[in-house]
């Protein structure tokens, strides 16, 4: 009898420890294997899964030439779904190499089906410069079919420097209209036509936030837009991607095409040297469907590959995720970057 009691007690203790471990289980940071950067996160209403698309990092000179996709049902366990667009093949005839900073939008069609519009940067062979393309699929993992030509291949009127990279796509929940944002050294935005593969003529705006410094909000690249509580939030990256100081700042607007008012406390996410966390920026943002629950997905520099040489200026980056929260007045609380990451997130699948 005593033996039985002891065994039962041991089983209960073991079960309790297992339950505790399960309760405390987190994604850990980084969340993807190897080197990836410029992450775009998507929740698919068609599949009920989360997806991350990114720059494939680790190649000298940011020389990655293909995009991969990872999926997860809970934001903590990620599955490699393979290469979904390859700029090193005839799949994207106009571009070669420098496959950078993608974004994606899921659009439900009138017949109830879904299409996925994947926007990306690539090196335009004909013009010998960076341009933005778009590819389309019926599935978040592909296969994707490229438009066959760049969607954006020149700077907006009046802009003298900077590259056509770091694209973002946003659909306004108030109007259903979609917008494209891009730029390195400047921020531009334009309304997308209903076909999602062309811009509405005459809608391009230069939105670059003015002022600031490398200590706070001076614009560099990586615009990201979302809507919450009647405001349009614009996030962007500050400083060089190879700098430990690379960080995220933000402002708000009453319109998806600005003007942008920089926040009084503009820093969203910045390095924490005490934790050996450096260069956390170039982000996307996820709202859990149906809930006021938000996450920021970003990259940071692997601590073993900081400048100076010979490790190279910032192409050993890794994708991470942390909670993002708001104050009662709608301002963003500064995100605390962690090594733990986030707890599992469950979403009840529903049709959008």
Taking only the tens place, the pLDDT of each residue in 116-136 is 999 999 999 999 999 999 999
State yes or no: pLDDT of 269 exceeds 60. yes
- What's the Cα-to-Cα distance from 83 to each of 44, 99, 220, 301, rounded to whole Å? 18, 12, 29, 23
Beta strands in the chain (DSSP E): 36-43, 50-56, 66-72, 79-86, 100-108, 114-124, 129-137, 145-146, 168-171, 178-182, 188-191, 205-206, 221-228, 231-238, 247-253, 261-269, 278-287, 294-301, 317-324
Count CB atoms within 10 A of the CB of residue 254: 10
pLDDT score of 20: 33
State yes or no: pLDDT of 266 exceeds 70. yes
**Per-residue pLDDT band at 339 (split at 50, 70, 90):** very high
Domains in the chain: ranges and CATH: 2-324 (2.115.10.20)
Residue 221 annotated among the catalytic residues of the structure: yes
Average pLDDT score over residue span 317-328: 98
Catalytic residue among 38, 168, 191, 239: 38
**Per-residue pLDDT band at 200 (split at 50, 70, 90):** very high
Report the alpha-carbon distance of residue 289 to residue 351 in Å, rounded.
11
Catalytic residue among 57, 146, 221, 239: 221
State yes or no: pLDDT of 165 exceeds 90. yes
Chain mean position to CA 151 = 20
The model's pTM is 0.91
pLDDT score of 61: 80
Residue 38 annotated among the catalytic residues of the structure: yes
Taking only the tens place, the pLDDT of each residue in 12-56 is 333 343 333 344 489 999 999 999 999 999 999 999 999 999 999
């Amino acid at each position: 009898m005593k033996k039985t009691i002891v065994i039962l007690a041991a089983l209960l203790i073991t079960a309790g420890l297992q339950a505790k471990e399960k309760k405390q289980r987190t994604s850990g940071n980084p969340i993807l294997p190897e080197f990836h950067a410029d992450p775009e996160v998507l929740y698919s209403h068609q599949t009920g899964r989360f997806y991350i698309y990114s720059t494939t990092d680790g190649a000298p000179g940011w020389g990655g030439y293909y995009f991969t996709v990872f999926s997860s049902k809970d934001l903590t366990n990620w599955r490699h779904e393979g290469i979904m667009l390859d700029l090193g093949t005839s799949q994207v005839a106009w571009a070669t190499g420098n496959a950078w900073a993608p974004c994606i939008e899921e659009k439900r069609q009138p017949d109830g089906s879904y299409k996925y519009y994947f926007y990306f940067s690539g090196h335009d062979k004909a013009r010998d410069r960076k341009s933005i393309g778009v590819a389309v699929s019926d599935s978040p993992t592909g296969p994707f079919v490229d438009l066959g030509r760049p969607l954006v291949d020149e700077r907006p009127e009046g802009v003298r420097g900077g590259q056509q990279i770091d694209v973002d796509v946003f659909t306004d929940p108030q109007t259903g209209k979609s917008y494209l944002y891009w730029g390195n050294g400047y921020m531009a935005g334009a309304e997308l036509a209903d076909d999602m593969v062309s811009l509405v003529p005459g809608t391009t705006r230069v939105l670059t936030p003015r002022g600031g410094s490398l200590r706070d909000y001076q614009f560099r690249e990586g615009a990201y837009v979302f809507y919450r509580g009647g405001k349009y939030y614009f996030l962007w990256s500050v400083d060089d991607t190879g700098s430990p100081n690379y960080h995220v700042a933000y402002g708000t607007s009453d319109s998806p095409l600005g003007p942008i008012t920089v926040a009084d406390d503009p820093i969203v996410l910045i390095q924490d040297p005490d934790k050996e966390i450096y260069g956390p920026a170039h982000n996307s943002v996820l709202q859990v469907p149906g809930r006021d629950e938000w996450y920021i997905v970003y990259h940071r520099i692997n601590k073993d590959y900081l400048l100076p040489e010979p490790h190279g200026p910032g192409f050993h980056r890794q994708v991470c995720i942390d909670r993002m929260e708001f104050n009662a007045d709608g301002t963003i609380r500064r995100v605390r970057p962690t090594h733990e990451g986030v707890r599992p997130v469950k979403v009840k699948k529903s049709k959008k």
